[in-house]
């Protein structure tokens, strides 16, 4: 298989690249200085800027891929404007490029609690993030792709437990190690499970392979 991970230098993405068999994935980043980190996972690196480069260039990069993972994000230190340009518009551009390239399998990392607009008084950057993720989800659901939207709970570092709660929304919020999020994505890709599903992911009592097989 050939898996393309857009936003390949993110914390979940790097963990995912390490889990995939060597030489089967490409991590896409905008900063050339990050390519050695991608290569250190046993995978390739490719350069594309979601905010600046044309969709057609990404479509060329995606040609021949078996699956695309959208793992990009503006990051916690960014302002509201970049939530729209990366988390929202970047996701939409990536899905469009997948369609253009004929890649059907598309896994998008979203966030829990984005179904409803943020309440009045919500901090501007967080409100923009929630809105961006919701709009990106809505766009993906309308596309003719074998999509899965994965909504992790509060992300934490440290070793994964291998045990999760993977359910349809709404779901009780909980923590989830980034390592376990990466492992769930790898299993979704390996098995092809979860097509046309929006899934909440939190720490729980079920082994990852079992949770994915139950979808």
In DSSP notation, 50-96 reads: TTTS-HHHHHHHHTT-SEEEE-----TTS-HHHIIIIIIHHHHHHHH
Which of 131, 200, 128, 203 is closest to 161 using CA atoms? 203
Is the distance from CB of 125 to CB of 83 less than 8 angstroms?
A: yes
Classified as helix, coil or strand, 61 is helix
In terms of residues, how long is the chain? 215
**78 C-beta neighbours (distance < 10 Å), count:** 16
Tokens 């929202």, residue?
88
Catalytic residue among 48, 70, 106, 129: 129
* Distance, CA of 76 to CA of 85 (rounded, Å): 14
Classified as helix, coil or strand, 154 is strand
Beta strand 146-152 pairing with 175-177: unpaired
129 counts as catalytic: yes
* Distance, CA of 196 to CA of 8 (rounded, Å): 23
| Catalytic residue IDs | 129
């Amino acid at each position: 298989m050939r898996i393309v991970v857009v936003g390949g230098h993110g914390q979940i993405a790097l963990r995912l690249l390490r889990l995939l068999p060597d030489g089967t994935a490409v991590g896409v980043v905008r900063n050339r200085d990050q390519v050695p980190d991608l290569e250190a996972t046993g995978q390739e690196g490719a350069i594309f800027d979601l905010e600046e480069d044309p969709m057609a260039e990404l479509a060329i990069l995606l040609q021949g891929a078996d699956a695309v993972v959208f793992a990009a994000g503006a990051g916690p230190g960014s302002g509201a404007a970049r939530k729209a340009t990366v988390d929202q518009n970047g996701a939409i551009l990536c899905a469009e490029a997948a369609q253009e390239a004929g890649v059907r399998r598309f896994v998008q990392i979203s966030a829990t609690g984005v179904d409803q607009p943020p309440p009045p008084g919500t901090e501007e950057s967080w409100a923009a993030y929630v809105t961006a993720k919701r709009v990106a989800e809505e766009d993906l659901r309308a596309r003719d792709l074998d999509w899965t939207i994965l909504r992790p709970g509060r992300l934490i570092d440290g070793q994964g437990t291998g045990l999760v709660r993977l359910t349809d929304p709404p779901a009780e919020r909980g923590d989830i190690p980034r390592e376990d999020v990466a492992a769930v994505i790898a299993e979704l890709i390996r098995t092809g499970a979860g097509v046309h599903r929006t899934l909440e992911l939190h720490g729980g009592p079920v082994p990852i392979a079992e949770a994915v097989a139950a979808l």
